[in-house]
Amino acid sequence: MRILGLDFGEKTLGVAVSDPLGWTAQGVETIYRTEENNLKETFMRLKEIITEYQVEEIVLGLPKNMNNTLGPRAEKTLIFKEQLAKKFSLPVHVWDERLSTVAATRSLLEADLSRKKRKKVVDKMAATYILQGYLDYLSN
């Protein structure tokens, strides 16, 4: 069973997918959009990915504040969660994504990637961290 991991940002959507056994997460791509609320092309691309990888459920990173409250970005993410569930008729779980982008950026810095290259892959990497955290939770 494949699981899709998503990192929902203002103008990007990081995408990762699990291996067929649900042990590891691999980054797939970053989907870019020019307007924050224009999701038509994003949903079209997600449909292609869901079909290609035979995805059966989705994990969406929920950006909680450090004090465990939900801010404006989290509220937008929860709206996106409902849109995903309705559009694809798949179970959509939210996963606490605090510091996933920080961890992804740190890993990319350690790999000595330039700022330009980091910017291209950080969202995909954050989606991978979100999904791997969820997969690790399921295996315990």
Is residue 8 within 8 A of residue 81, CB to CB? The reply is no
Q: What percent of the chain has pLDDT over 90?
A: 61
Structural domain harbouring 21: 2-139
Percent of the chain's residues with pLDDT above 70 = 82
pLDDT in tens, 8-21: 998 999 999 999 99
Flag whether pLDDT at 120 surpasses 80: no
| Number of domains the chain contains | 1
The stretch 23-36 carries a mean pLDDT of 92
**Structural element, H or E, at residue 62:** strand 55-62
Residues 6+ apart with CB under 8 A from 12: 30, 31, 32, 33, 123
Q: Domain of 58: which CATH number?
A: 3.30.420.140
The Cα 30–Cα 33 span in angstroms is 10
What span, in angstroms and rounded, lies between the C-alpha atoms of 78 and 71?
11
**Reported confidence tier of residue 114, pLDDT bands at 50, 70, 90:** low
Residue (of 95, 89, 32, 37) closest to 63 by Cα position: 95
Residue 130 has pLDDT above 90, yes or no: yes
pLDDT in tens, 56-109: 999 999 998 778 888 888 999 999 999 999 999 999 999 988 766 656 566 655
Q: Which two tokens stand for residue 140?
A: 């315990």
